[in-house]
Amino acid sequence: MHEEAMCNCIVCGELKPHDQGLRIVTEFICGSCEREMVQTDVLDEKYPFYVHQMRQIWIHKNA
Ligand SMILES: [Zn+2]
């Protein structure tokens, strides 16, 4: 059985295999973005971008 479900990463927007990332509710973050997020310092200029992307999930969810 070879089923390759692809998910759209909410951070980079790329299609990645669903088993190579992190699923949050109905959203998906690919493995490389997940790694980057873990390594991103809160003082890093990228951090607000991630927070913004994450917040969109909850806004969408609670809308
Ligand atoms: Zn990604």
Pairing of strands 21-24, 15-17: unpaired
Distances (CA, A) of 39 to 34, 35, 36: 9, 6, 5
Q: What pLDDT digit, counting tens, does each position of 13-38 carry? A: 999 998 888 888 788 999 999 888 88
The DSSP symbol for 1 reads -
**Phi, psi dihedrals of residue 45, rounded to the nearest 5°:** -70, -15
| pLDDT value of residue 14 | 94
Q: What is the distance in A from the centroid of ligand 1 to the CA of 33?
A: 4
Q: What pLDDT digit, counting tens, does each position of 33-55 carry? A: 988 888 877 677 777 887 788 78
Whether 34 maps to a domain, the answer reads yes
Whether 54 maps to a domain, the answer reads yes
Whether 14 maps to a domain, the answer reads yes
In whole angstroms, give the CA distance from residue 39 to residue 18: 21
In whole angstroms, give the CA distance from residue 62 to residue 58: 6
Whether 26 maps to a domain, the answer reads yes
Whether 1 maps to a domain, the answer reads no
Neighbours of ion ligand 1 (CB under 5 A): 9, 11-12, 30, 33
| Domain enclosing residue 14, as ranges | 6-62
Domain count, the chain: 1
62: confidence class by pLDDT, cuts 50, 70, 90: low
